[in-house]
């Protein structure tokens, strides 16, 4: 479902991606692990069609996202690191609005159930988002992505700001979606969360994958050691 073939992306003199190759299939959770500036967000922006690769090819469900924007809107859900919502709307109103934009219309009760399922306390669902913590906004973002029932999920540091319990809930939710056939790519530098959630892990350094691992084959300790070693080099 996601195919990245030898992609480079440069911003003037800076090379953000350098011959990146990546494939993520149906039912898979792939984690891109890398430090700041490794090219994780650039990869996600390329997949969202917001950037055009300098060279190489990117396919989402067989279509190039920067050429065919409908392949993104029709198949992709996205959770950014900082979910920006409308501060004057409540959580449930935000969810309703973003769903409405996607052409999804649900009753208020159904939306509330989704928010509850994503870990947002009922007592906060009708409060203005301006009163929310970062983690609470993140949960609304997850609910927006979940409601879209997308085939592809792109997550940029999705657990950022979430408490441990909410992070666990997110992991469970992502695994559930993958088991239902979703293709998930998450960018993170949270080693623990990545190992807990992903099937495969790619260590990204200077715009290229330097190591690819099966999460099941590696312990948290080994992953940390490998990661630190790559970062040091």
Partner 1 sequence: MIQILLNEWKGWSRTGQFRWLFVGLVGVLLLLSYFGVQDVRNRQALVDQSKREVREQWENMGPTNPHGAAHYGSYAFKPLNSLSALDEGVNLTAGSVLRLEGHVQNEVVHSAQSQSAFISYFGPLKASIVLQVIVPLFMIFLTYYAVKSEHEQGRVRLLMVQGITYPKLVFGKVLAIWILSLIILLVTLGSQIAIFGAGLEADFLLRSALIVLAYAVFYLIITSLTASFCAWASQGASSLTFMLAVWVVWLIFLPKLAGWYVEKQHPLPSREAFTSAMREDRSKGIDGHNPADEREQAFKDSVLMAYDVQHLDSLPINYDGLLMQADEEYGNKVWDKHFGSLFEVMQRQKTNLQLVGLINPYGSLRSLSMGISGTDQWSHLHFQKEAEAYRRVFIKELNDEHAYGGSKNGDWGWKAEQEFFNGIEDFHYTNPRYTQAARIYQQDWFNLILWLVIALMSLGVATKKRESKPL
Residues contributing to the site for partner 1 (CB under 8 A): 45, 48, 50-51, 66, 69, 72-74, 76-78, 80, 82-86, 88-89, 93, 97-103, 128, 141, 144, 148
Three-state DSSP class for 232?
helix
Q: Within 13 Å of residue 123, how many CA atoms lie on the same side as its CB?
A: 0
Closest separation in Å from C-beta 100 to partner 1: 5
| CB nearer to partner 1: pick between 34 and 141 | 141
Closest separation in Å from C-beta 142 to partner 1: 12
Contacts of 159 (CB under 8 A, 6+ apart): 138, 166, 167, 170, 188, 190, 193
| CB nearer to partner 1: pick between 32 and 60 | 60
Closest separation in Å from C-beta 13 to partner 1: 18
| CB nearer to partner 1: pick between 52 and 212 | 52
Closest separation in Å from C-beta 18 to partner 1: 20
Q: Within 13 Å of residue 42, how many CA atoms lie on the same side as its CB?
A: 27
| CB nearer to partner 1: pick between 101 and 172 | 101
Q: Across the chain, how many H-helices and E-strands are there?
A: 9, 9
Contact (CB, 8 A) for 30 and 202: yes
| CB nearer to partner 1: pick between 77 and 191 | 77
Closest separation in Å from C-beta 51 to partner 1: 7
Length of the chain: 233
């Amino acid at each position: 479902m996601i195919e990245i073939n030898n992609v480079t992306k440069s911003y003037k003199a800076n090379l953000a991606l350098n011959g990146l190759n990546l494939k993520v299939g149906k039912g898979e959770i792939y984690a891109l692990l890398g430090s700041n500036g490794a090219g994780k967000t650039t990869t996600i922006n390329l997949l969202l069609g917001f950037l055009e690769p300098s060279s190489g090819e990117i396919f989402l469900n067989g279509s190039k996202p920067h050429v065919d924007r409908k392949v993104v809107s029709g198949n992709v859900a996205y959770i950014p690191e900082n979910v920006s919502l409308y501060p004057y709307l409540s959580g449930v109103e935000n969810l309703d609005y973003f769903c409405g934009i996607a052409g999804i219309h649900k009753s208020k009760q159904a939306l509330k159930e989704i928010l509850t399922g994503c870990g947002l306390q009922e007592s906060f669902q009708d409060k203005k988002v301006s009163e929310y913590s970062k983690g609470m906004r993140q949960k609304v973002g997850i609910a927006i992505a979940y409601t879209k029932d997308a085939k592809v999920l792109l997550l940029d540091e999705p657990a950022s700001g979430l408490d441990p319990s909410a992070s666990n809930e997110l992991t469970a939710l992502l695994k559930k979606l993958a088991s239902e056939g979703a293709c998930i790519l998450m960018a993170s530098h949270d080693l623990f969360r990545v190992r807990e959630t992903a099937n495969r892990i790619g260590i990204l350094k200077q715009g290229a994958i330097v190591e690819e691992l099966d999460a099941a084959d590696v312990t948290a300790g080994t992953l940390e050691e490998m990661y630190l070693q790559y970062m040091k080099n």
